[in-house]
Amino acid sequence: MKTTTHRRQTTPRALYELFSSMRFAIGLLTVLGIASIIGTVLKQNEPYPNYAFEFGQFWFQAFEMLGLYDVYHSAWFLIILAFLVLSTTLCILRNGPGFIKQMRGYRERASDNSLAAMPHSQAFEAEAVEPSRLLGYLRGQGFRWREAEREDGARLIAAKKGAAGKLGYFCAHIALIVICVGGLLDGNLPLKLGELAGRIVPETRDIPQSRIPEQSRLGPANLSFRGNVTIAEGKSADVTFLNSGNGYLVQELPFIVSLKKFHVDYYSNGMPKLFASDIVVTDKASGKTTEATVQVNHPLIVDGVAIYQSSFGDGGSPLKLKAWNLAAPGSAPVALTGVSMSSQPLRANGKDYALEFGELRVFNIENVAKPGEGDPTLSQRMHDAREVKQHKDLKNYGPSITFKLRDAQGQAVEYVHYMAPIAQDGASYLMAGMRKTPADPFQYLRMPLDDDMQVDRFMRLYAALRDPSLYDEVAARATRKAQQGGVIDGKLAKQFGDSVKGVLERFASGGFSALEQFLDERVPADKRQAVAQTYIKILQGAVVDVMAAADDRAGAKPLAADAAHYRFLLDGLVAASALQDYGSPVFLKLEGFDQVQSSGLQLTRSPGKTLVYLGSVLLVLGIVLMFYVREQRLWIRIDGRRLRVAMTSNRHNRDLDTDFQRHLDAIKQLTRGT
């Protein structure tokens, strides 16, 4: 029974010793340091699909279990902060009284033996011992003292200075407590407890904000939060969205934020130099309005909520487009309107599609430097993440629009189309990128532009290449030119004409891939290369006649016969072949837009921020006091004409040796000691 009682008494004591020990606190600080490194290296509060795509399913789940995607708000991080507060508080309670006693004490009862045993101690005989002169010297050196009379008639003067150095201990420990409490406040413990209890459930569906249930909404009185909201010009918002696990929470604000105007300035190369938002904040309770311009690093603070300028983008801009039906390229293009960041139905060739417009980007700044040998394609220049950083040649490619075309089965292909002509190797092109999955890089289609920087002539060429009614005329033109040039005689005229039509038919069915497949299936391997070269020459010659026939039918001015325009035709063949894999029944060309900008604002409430700042100041003060303020104690024992001077310091270094000798010499001079 006694053993059980003994255990009950010692277990709390053992826990007290553990929690108040320096080893325990250092262990917690080490874990916090490692967690902070992870939180710095790993981008926090990203949508979960981003992490899954970056790390793969296995590591994504492992990191999710550890709470590494929101380290500073994870349960284990907050628990460590709480234990660190407890540990540091117990450490102060345990060791504080002793430090206070040392700070207040003068050790005027130090024995003669202890004084004599000190490393810095010396006794000598003095001729003129006047305590008042000694006290005056101590006062001049900044010492405070107490005097004590000994039973043997001796007199002891115990002096000290620099006792404030021990205050550094309290400042440093209190600073740690204050910083951790600030972290706990900003960590929003009530929110975490609500999630654990099931009262707060993150929303995972992509639904309008007004339909989000109460269990996924947080009231304006929420202790702390950090969320983002995007507001278009002329629009308002009274909520912000907080990432939470694989979903999000809606944080209601005590005010309404309206964006009057967004401003952005650019450098000469198109890179953004300055962006700011003219906003109006209207208090929901009082109706009071506050107008301000928010810039990067210059937030507006209203009701304890800081509004930061975070980003900017497209706010839903009206678009003007021209649409070509690729299944009937000979038909005239149709004017089409839309709004970026929205979706609209599209019917093409008897099928229904959803046209989902993405972001309109007015500036596309890309690095077109050539880091190594060879000439990278424009696609690589614009989208290769491995582009070296030390050689930068920034270029603005002008406006672009991204969109997805989704069929009735829900399958979508993503596109990015540039509006302005893009020059490459002396020619101008209209660029259009396509990819079937977000994980794939864009594959770019280069449509050659005519002398008027329009795509109309290429579309006329593309329609003619796919129009069988022109093949006889094209074959006749090609045969006639071949005979005139002496390439073939009359006996081979029909065979040559049939070859021209055959090449055009196969090219129309699938581009260069169809020609290659035909050669693989019909031509022996040892003759395939020669036949392929012949087909290419036939096609390159026939394309001139295809263009001429198309111009005649359209009543257009014939294409000039020179190297630059012949290159246009060869580029047209490449583009026409690539259109076979374009994956869309229509081709959309961005003709114009009315830009509506949006501002990305970050709204934060951080009640612990002030405590963290205060704790940081206390920590610096504590470090300064502990490392730069030395406590010195000096004893002078007077026994008749015999004196003993002893000295100690909380840090033994060469300064102590020098100070002791200086004080000793001064006291000897005052007392004429030997």
pLDDT band at 393 (very low <50, low <70, confident <90, very high): low
pLDDT band at 171 (very low <50, low <70, confident <90, very high): very high
Reduce the secondary structure of 475-535 to three states and give it as a string: HHHHHHHHHHCCCCCHHHHHHHHHHHHHHHHHHHHHHHHHHHHHHHHHCCHHHHHHHHHHH
Q: pLDDT by residue (tens digit) across 566-577? A: 999 999 999 999
Whether the pLDDT of residue 87 is over 80: the answer is yes
Lowest mean pLDDT among 65-74, 188-197, 328-337, 449-458: 188-197
Residue 392: other Cβ atoms inside 10 A = 11
Residue 597: other Cβ atoms inside 10 A = 21
Q: pLDDT by residue (tens digit) across 283-319? A: 998 999 999 999 988 999 998 899 999 988 898 999 9
Which residue(s) pair with 338 in the sheet?
A: 319
Q: Rounded to whole angstroms, how far apart are CA atoms 205 and 200?
A: 15
Positive or negative, the CA dihedral 252, 253, 254, 256 is negative
In 3D, which of 239, 228, 236 has the Cα closest to residue 260?
A: 236
Alpha carbons within 13 angstroms on the beta-carbon side of residue 23 total 3
Q: pLDDT by residue (tens digit) across 520-542? A: 888 888 888 888 898 889 899 89
Q: What confidence score (pLDDT) does residue 378 get?
A: 37
Mean pLDDT of 382-399: 56
Torsion on CA atoms 108, 110, 115, 121, rounded to nearest 10: -20
Whether the pLDDT of residue 273 is over 70: the answer is yes
Q: What separation in angstroms does the CA of 185 have from each of 39, 75, 246, 516?
A: 18, 13, 24, 68
Backbone angles phi, psi at 218, to 5 degrees: -115, 135
Q: Rounded to whole angstroms, how far apart are CA atoms 383 and 412?
A: 21
Q: What confidence score (pLDDT) does residue 388 get?
A: 38
Q: pLDDT by residue (tens digit) across 220-254? A: 988 889 888 999 999 999 999 988 877 889 999 99
Helix (H), strand (E) at residue 90:
helix 75-104
Q: What confidence score (pLDDT) does residue 401 get?
A: 95
Whether the pLDDT of residue 114 is over 50: the answer is yes
Q: What confidence score (pLDDT) does residue 121 get?
A: 92
pLDDT band at 149 (very low <50, low <70, confident <90, very high): confident
pLDDT band at 276 (very low <50, low <70, confident <90, very high): very high
382, two tokens: 């614009």
Q: What is the CATH number of domain 203-223+225-312+599-605?
A: 2.60.98
Share of the chain above pLDDT 90, in %: 44
Backbone angles phi, psi at 322, to 5 degrees: -120, 130
Q: By the 8 A CB rule, do 390 and 429 touch?
A: no
Q: What are the start-end ranges of the E strands in 540-596?
A: 586-593
Helix axes 563-578, 525-554, angle to 10 degrees: 110
Q: Rounded to whole angstroms, how far apart are CA atoms 457 and 576?
A: 12
pTM, full prediction: 0.67
Q: Is 3.30.310.10 the CATH classification of the domain at 112-162+630-671?
A: yes
Longest Cα–Cα distance of the chain, Å, equals: 144
Residue 666 DSSP SS3: helix
pLDDT band at 367 (very low <50, low <70, confident <90, very high): low
Q: By the 8 A CB rule, do 633 and 159 touch?
A: yes
Q: What confidence score (pLDDT) does residue 381 get?
A: 40
Mean pLDDT of 394-422: 92
Alpha carbons within 13 angstroms on the beta-carbon side of residue 38 total 17
Q: pLDDT by residue (tens digit) across 643-668? A: 999 999 887 777 888 899 999 999 99
The mean of the pLDDT values for the chain is: 87
Whether the pLDDT of residue 370 is over 70: the answer is no
Q: Are strands 247-266 and 217-218 parallel, antiparallel or unpaired?
A: parallel
Q: pLDDT by residue (tens digit) across 14-42? A: 888 888 888 898 999 999 999 989 888 88
In 3D, which of 466, 456, 468 has the Cα closest to residue 556?
A: 456
Mean pLDDT of 324-345: 91
Q: Rounded to whole angstroms, how far apart are CA atoms 545 and 481?
A: 10
426, two tokens: 């002396």
Q: What separation in angstroms does the CA of 274 have from each of 175, 312, 595?
A: 37, 11, 18
Domain ranges of the chain: 2-101+170-186, 112-162+630-671, 203-223+225-312+599-605, 318-459+590-597, 474-563+577-583
Q: pLDDT by residue (tens digit) across 615-629? A: 999 999 999 988 888
Rg (Cα) of the chain, in Å, rounded? 41
Q: What confidence score (pLDDT) does residue 6 get?
A: 46
Q: pLDDT by residue (tens digit) across 596-609? A: 999 999 999 988 88
In 3D, which of 204, 183, 187, 172 has the Cα closest to residue 22?
A: 172
Higher per-residue confidence, 465 vs 492: 465
Q: What confidence score (pLDDT) does residue 270 get?
A: 66
With residues binned 3-state (H G I as helix, E B as strand, rest as coil), the percentages for the chain, rounded to 5, are 45, 30, 25
- b/e sequence 321-334, b meaning 16+ C-beta within 10 Å: bbbbbbeebbeebe
Q: What confidence score (pLDDT) does residue 613 get?
A: 94
pLDDT band at 9 (very low <50, low <70, confident <90, very high): low
Q: Rounded to whole angstroms, how far apart are CA atoms 127 and 603?
A: 78
Helix (H), strand (E) at residue 38:
helix 22-41
| 346: CB partners within 8 A, 6+ apart | 352, 353, 354, 355, 405, 586
Residue 17 DSSP SS3: helix
339-347's contacts with Cβ under 8 Å and 24+ in sequence apart are 340/314, 340/316, 340/401, 340/593, 341/314, 341/315, 341/316, 342/316, 346/405, 346/586
In 3D, which of 401, 404, 399 has the Cα closest to residue 344?
A: 404
Q: By the 8 A CB rule, do 447 and 515 touch?
A: no
Q: What confidence score (pLDDT) does residue 135 get?
A: 92
In 3D, which of 447, 445, 405 has the Cα closest to residue 428?
A: 447
Backbone dihedral region for residue 218 (phi beyond 0: left; psi -120 to 50: alpha; all else: beta) = beta
